A and B are shown apart, each in its own frame.
Chain A
Amino acid sequence: MTRTFLAISLVASVFLTFACVDKSGTATVGPAGDTIKVGVYGDLTGQTSSFGQSTKNGIELAVEEINAAGGVNGKKIQLIIEDDQGRPEQAKTVVSKLINQDKVQAVLGEVASTNSLAAAPVAQEAKIPMITPSSTNPKVTEVGDYISRVCFIDPFQGSVMAKFAANTLKAKTAAILGDVNSDYSKGLTQFFEEEFTKLGGRVLAKEAYTQTDPDFKGQLTKIRNLKPDVIYVPGYYGQVGIISKQARELDMNMPLLGGDGWDSPELWKLGGESLENNYISNHYSAQNPAPEIQSFVKAYKAKFNVEPDSLAALAYDAAKVLADAIKRAGGAADSAKLKDAINSTKNFPGVTGTITLDANRNAVKPAVVLALDSAAGAFTFKETIYPEGMAPPTTSSNTMSNTMNSNSNMNSMAGSNTNAESTANTNTTR
């Protein structure tokens, strides 16, 4: 008798756990009724959950502002948020659910290119517009004309770091340590190498790791023998913090260079002091004194009690671009019209710069290079690099001025470690 009871309760508790996880992953925001349904999917509980959380926060803030101002064409936007746990197959499943079951009229997400690539064909097939805020691999929008993005793409991001390494750091040789399972990492590796070689540099080695590797010293020891001037590590924050720490443990003190995948409050806790002397390319800097950026930073901090990273800023922009397109299309009912409106976005004033989608539905925007300041636990602005054919604006408030003092606003950034803790707390109680 007791045995049966134990067995039943064990089985029941397993199901209960799964049921709870599922419930916590799905959150419906906003009132039902005459609304425009927008689906959001992202990694809320997986390996890169800081990305998903920031994206969700950014979108929620934007939608709150839009709805407070009366919505779009008199209709409120209703968000349906799904957790894909950072797994590509799960991303595909939840987007199918959003489109077929919840009947959303547009989809926002993901951050990681691999997950966006898994879900994009579903949206394209169903002819539901999907805007990815921050997937930078070029292949994502190549899936079809219903897929667009509000960020720059990897050929540009990779070349930015190559330029910075060759021109500013005067590096002659580099090694690359990439994530073998990430389309994002593979794209950046390729484009960094191309540009760096073009600028006269030499890539001495290309090493790879997987996200579940117990340590990275094997790869790092191999790179150490080659004595490169810089190491390019186009990975995600969960690994790069440890890579930096273990590189310094092996007496490798050359700068490590990265991309927007490093941007997370968790990075500082994982990497600590070892992060000093490293640089990343990113979409925006929260230190930019431009009024529209500072008002976004202020609103975000007031709502979520944490400094917005670039993923939050891009998510905010993606939601605003979508709302703007719905307005121009006269509603979201006609998905072909909505898609055309999104794809013809021009000079949209976003937090991460002026957004214009090109013929391939990619945003053409400058990138910023940020230095890592481990003592303050913050990124400090280094320089802005513009895409070819785009002249630096003389007095634009949307792009950061090159002459900006990189040390201004340092005090406001110093608290990001404690802020990060509060994000972690919200995660547990959610």
Chain B
Amino acid sequence: MDTFVQQLINGLTIGSIYALIALGYTMVYGILRLINFAHGDIYMVGAYAGFILATSLGFAAEPSAFGFVVTLVGAMAIAAAMGMAIERFAYRPVRKFSKMTTLITAIGMSLLIEYLFVFIFSGTPRSFPQLLPNDNITLFGNATISTSQILIFVVSVLLMVLLQWIIYKTKIGKAMRAVSFNITSAKLMGINTNFVIAFTFALGSALAAAGGVLTAQYNPKIEPLMGIITGLKAFVAAVLGGIGNIPGAVLGGLLIGAAETLVVGYGNYVGIPSTYRDAVAFAILILVLLIRPAGLLGSNVQEKV
């Protein structure tokens, strides 16, 4: 029993990270019907931004809550700025053309960011400094949770609540929902759609950066290509939950994280080797798309032709 709980904790930890990243995918899709393939790399940019902030401001030497908060918020701000810049200079100019053009631009952007970082920082894995003291807490029996895991849960939940508040209780949130509902009508009602889109990118990028910094507290190895697989799984999570649907992204992230870890823990009882954890995420995706094409929480909207 305690082993199962332990595996569940492990799985939900990485699941929370997937959820944070998946939110960015789903929000951008909801508004632009665009899969922003560069989003996984923004997660990496966030981790590097945090790394540079923490080492240059001297938070690496002494773990403190202040240092952690400054690093987290700083990294989120840098990533938000980068997300907006990408939208402004890469996506907005091609938005008028077919969706395929924007999609290909997104793939190009992803590669550009990855190899720009390889060029600047080299591919050497860097070790992210510990910003908060790390401890273990025994829950019961053998089940333990580390403070870095608690941190991931608490910060992710706070950020998700904050996001929910922005979307449903603020004016800009209302504008986002309007743009997502129908971009042309929103424009006719006097909503500055360009601003709303830029804001959405900033919001999604900030969440991904938070994911990057939090992951780095748990698994301190960062490298320029770390966003590929993680980003892909977060994308799967977004589709699984129903792309464009915000609670769906969170649910999808947690499900993928838990499924992956349970495959490692118990897969060999049903003949799945533990190294098939990545394959499982994609197998789930295929199954869900076959049975519920709109995703678990996605509403089945008729595509207007």
Contacts and interface: CB of A to CB of B under 8 A. Distances in A.
Interface residues of A, number: 54
B142 A224 contact: yes
A388 interface: no
A221 B115 contact: no
Contacts of A13: 112
Nearest 7 CB-CB pairs, A to B? A218-B264, A269-B127, A45-B123, A217-B10, A427-B122, A180-B275, A249-B146
A20 B121 CA distance: 13
A214 B125 CA distance: 14
Interface in B10-53: 10-11, 13-14, 17
Interface of A: 2-3, 6-7, 10, 13-14, 17-18, 20-21, 24, 44-47, 49-50, 53, 85-86, 180, 207-210, 212-215, 217-219, 221-222, 224-225, 238-239, 241-242, 245-246, 249-251, 266, 269-270, 272, 424, 427-428, 430
A212 to B, nearest CB: 5
B265 A221 contact: yes
A85 B136 CA distance: 37
A20 B192 CA distance: 40
Contacts of B90: 10
B130 interface: yes
11 contacts: A10-B90, A14-B111, A17-B116, A50-B124, A214-B219, A218-B261, A241-B127, A249-B146, A269-B220, A270-B221, A427-B121
A251 B126 contact: no
Contacts of A222: 3, 264-265, 274
Given A250-B136, A251-B142, 14 more contacts: A3-B94, A6-B89, A17-B115, A21-B118, A46-B123, A209-B274, A217-B261, A218-B11, A222-B264, A225-B142, A238-B221, A238-B223, A250-B144, A427-B124
Contacts of A46: 123
A245 B230 CA distance: 21
Contact of A208 (B122, B125, B130, B275): B275
B51 to A, nearest CB: 11
Contact of A249 (B115, B120, B136): B136
- Tell me if A's interface is mostly helix, strand, loop or mixed: helix
Contacts of A266: 124-125, 127
B40 to A, nearest CB: 12
Given A13-B112, A47-B223, A219 B125 contact: no
Which of B124, B126, B134 has the largest number of chain A CB atoms within 10 A? B124
A11 to B, nearest CB: 8
B273 interface: yes
Interface string B100-139: 0000010010011001101111111111001000101010
Nearest to A179: B275
Contacts of B124: 45, 49-50, 53, 266, 424, 427
Contact of A210 (B116, B121, B136, B275): B275
B168 to A, nearest CB: 31
A249 B144 contact: yes
Contacts of A44: 122
A250 to B, nearest CB: 6
B229 to A, nearest CB: 5
Nearest to B230: A214
B298 to A, nearest CB: 25
A117 to B, nearest CB: 20
B271 interface: no
A44 B123 CA distance: 8
B14 A214 contact: yes
Contacts of B10: 215, 217-218, 221
